[in-house]
Chains A and B, each alone.
Chain A
Amino acid sequence: DAGVIQSPRHEVTEMGQEVTLRCKPISGHDYLFWYRQTMMRGLELLIYFNNNVPIDDSGMPEDRFSAKMPNASFSTLKIQPSEPRDSAVYFCASSPSGRYYNEQFFGPGTRLTVL
């Protein structure tokens, strides 16, 4: 398996533009997580899905952020409009079900810079 795939790997955009980050989880994994990593705050969970359904979005910073999972093999995280403080590395991770808690497998991350 190729592991968790994220695209793009790097994104540079201007303030006010819409940004869409993409994630393909490992086939067969039922959980998908979106994280943000910054120097100031470290790793933070933004939202996670189980069987394509959003379970907990309490970490989504504000209404400018939205996430979707239209099917088991694809998820997007969208920021509209983007702001410089959104600059961070965004990670997607997936994990299998079958237990109450499971090891998570992380993608390579998308480094977002908002100018």
Chain B
Amino acid sequence: KNEVEQSPQNLTAQEGEFITINCSYSVGISALHWLQQHPGGGIVSLFMLSSGKKKHGRLIATINIQEKHSSLHITASHPRDSAVYICAVTLTGTASKLTFGTGTRLQVTL
């Protein structure tokens, strides 16, 4: 079993829909990261969080430490949000070393 599990693996949505991507982990962590990888391949860090909730524009990330679960929400989705979203965790005691989920491929259509 992977230490970091994401769901769904693939997601198709229509423009304007509210989107949720889930991430569960089975180990102790110092922080959880959400990354975005566009079709061109570049990887961008969206959020890094260890508790609570963060918001940036139309993106919201939440984490529940007790339940070992995080969600990434996209409000009013747009075709430019189409990308692979990757959850990664910094394992406790591993100082900056990331362990990755397998990613969620999102396609937003008009």
CB distance from B61 to the nearest CB of A (A): 13
Contact with A along B24-62 (1 / 0, CB 8 A): 000000110101000001111100101000000000000
A50 to B35, CA, bound (A): 22
Which residues of chain A are within 8 angstroms of B100 by Cβ–Cβ distance? 42-44
A87 to B31, CA, bound (A): 31
Which residues of chain A are within 8 angstroms of B50 by Cβ–Cβ distance? 101
How many residues on chain B are close to A (CB under 8 Å)?
A: 24
A56 to B94, CA, bound (A): 9
Cross-chain pair count, CB within 8 angstroms: 58
A109 to B41, CA, bound (A): 8
* A51 in contact (CB, < 8 A): no
A106 to B41, CA, bound (A): 11
A89 to B31, CA, bound (A): 25
Interface positions of A (Cβ within 8 A of B): 31, 33, 42-45, 48, 50, 55-56, 89, 91, 93, 95, 100-106, 108-109, 111
Q: Give 7 CB contacts A-B under 8 Å.
A: A42-B102, A43-B100, A45-B99, A55-B95, A101-B31, A101-B95, A102-B96
